[in-house]
């Protein structure tokens, strides 16, 4: 499976015309295997002793953001959470669910939420994000 994930990461970078670098590959592979958005610290944790330094992780994420491969899913406790951008459009991100008991966040790509109008009472809506809070199946049983 790891070979398939690596090939997928390489294909994503080539399609975006980005150079194949170790940090880009490792961060993309980590995102491809992740089941929820990750913080910069979570990337370092998941990559372990082979993790690039914090600045390299940040710069790599910024490059992937600019290439529209990754996006900032949401801000929680003043920390951005990143995920692959393929499940979202430029105007709407798929919903996320955060458990109020254990704190885990889950992507809910199968749920669709109606798109808000582009403007409302003078507010110009540029991007819509929906986050649900409650108890996950593990905590509710």
Taking only the tens place, the pLDDT of each residue in 46-87 is: 999 989 999 999 999 999 999 989 988 877 788 888 988 876
Q: Which domains does the chain have, with CATH numbers?
A: 2-87 (1.10.10.10), 96-140 (no CATH)
- What are the phi and psi torsion angles at 98 (to 5°)? -115, 125
pLDDT at 124 over 70: yes
Nearest to 73 by CA among 48, 38, 102: 38
Pairing of the two strands 119-120 and 123-124: antiparallel
Q: What is the pTM of this model?
A: 0.74
What gap in Å lies between CA 46 and CA 49, rounded to an integer? 9
pLDDT confidence bin for 42, thresholds 50/70/90: very high
pLDDT at 1 over 70: no
Q: Higher confidence at residue 107 or residue 58?
A: 58
Q: Which residues contact 34 (CB under 8 A, 6 or more apart)?
A: 46, 83
């Amino acid at each position: 499976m790891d070979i398939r994930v690596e090939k997928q990461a390489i294909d994503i970078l080539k399609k975006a015309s980005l150079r194949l670098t170790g940090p880009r590959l490792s961060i993309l592979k980590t995102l491809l295997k992740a089941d929820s958005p990750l913080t910069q610290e979570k990337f370092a944790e998941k990559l372990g002793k082979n993790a690039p330094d914090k600045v390299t992780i940040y710069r790599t994420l910024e490059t992937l953001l600019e290439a529209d491969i990754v996006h900032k899913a949401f801000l929680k406790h003043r920390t951005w959470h990143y995920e692959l951008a393929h499940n979202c459009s430029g105007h709407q991100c798929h919903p996320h669910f955060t458990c109020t008991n254990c704190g885990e966040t889950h992507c809910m790509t199968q749920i669709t939420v109606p798109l808000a109008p582009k403007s409302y009472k003078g507010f110009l809506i540029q991007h819509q994000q929906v986050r649900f809070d409650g108890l996950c199946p593990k905590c509710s049983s």
